[in-house]
C-alpha cells in the first residue's frame, strides 16, 4: 500500500471554496484520519468556472463539469494529490487521467422545501431552485401550479 502522505507533510486536497465544499473536504479528511490517524489534510481552494459565473444558469455555461474542471486541474498540475467533489457536479464520463478512488456513504438524498409544504403553497406561489430537474417537476406537483424562479448564486462561502 502506498503511503497517503509522509510524516510531517500534509495531503493537499483540491476543493471549491463554498461552505458546502469545504465541509465535504473536512468530512473526507476525518474519514481518512480514521485509517491514518496522524494524517494532515490541507485544503487547496480552487475557484471554478461555476463559481466565477454565479450569475449565469449552469446549463448556459456548460452544464456538468463547470464546478469540476479546475479542481481536477489542481490534481493534474500537482497542486493537490486528491480532489473532493459533490457527486452531483461530476460529469458522467470520468477524466481519462484520473480515477474515482472513493465514495463516502451518502447522506439523506431527499429534497427539502424550506418555509412551507407543497400542499400548503398557494396557487401561483414562487419556488426558487437552480435544479433543471426540479424546475421541470415542481409546477406539476403542486395544486394550482407555482411559478419557478432561479436563485442567484450558490451556497454562501
Active-site residue set: 89
Choose among 80, 48, 81, 52: nearest CA to 67: 48
Alpha carbon distance, N-terminus to C-terminus of the chain: 36
Contact indicator for 141, 147 with CB cutoff of 8 Å? no
DSSP assignment of the chain: ---SS-TT-EEEEEE-SSHHHHHHHHHHHHHHHHHSTT-EEEEEE---HHHHTTTS-GGGTTSTTTTTHHHHHHHHTTS-SEE---GGGS-SSPPTT------PPP-------SSS-TTTSPTT-EEE---HHHHHHHHHHSTT--EEEPPSS-S--
Amino acid at each position: 500500500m502506498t503511503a497517503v502522505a509522509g510524516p510531517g507533510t500534509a495531503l493537499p486536497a483540491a476543493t471549491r471554496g463554498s461552505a458546502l465544499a469545504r465541509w465535504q473536504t473536512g468530512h473526507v479528511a476525518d474519514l481518512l484520519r480514521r485509517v491514518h490517524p496522524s494524517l494532515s489534510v490541507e485544503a487547496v481552494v480552487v475557484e471554478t468556472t461555476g463559481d466565477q459565473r454565479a450569475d449565469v444558469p449552469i446549463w448556459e455555461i456548460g452544464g456538468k463539469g463547470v464546478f469540476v474542471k479546475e479542481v481536477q486541474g489542481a490534481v493534474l498540475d500537482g497542486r493537490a494529490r486528491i480532489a473532493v467533489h459533490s457527486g452531483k457536479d461530476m460529469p458522467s464520463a470520468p477524466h481519462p487521467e484520473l480515477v474515482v478512488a472513493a465514495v463516502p456513504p451518502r447522506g439523506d438524498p431527499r429534497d427539502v422545501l424550506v418555509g412551507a409544504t407543497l400542499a400548503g403553497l398557494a396557487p401561483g406561489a414562487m419556488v426558487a431552485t437552480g435544479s433543471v430537474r426540479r424546475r421541470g417537476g415542481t409546477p406539476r406537483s403542486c395544486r394550482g401550479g407555482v411559478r419557478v424562479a432561479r436563485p442567484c448564486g450558490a451556497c454562501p462561502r
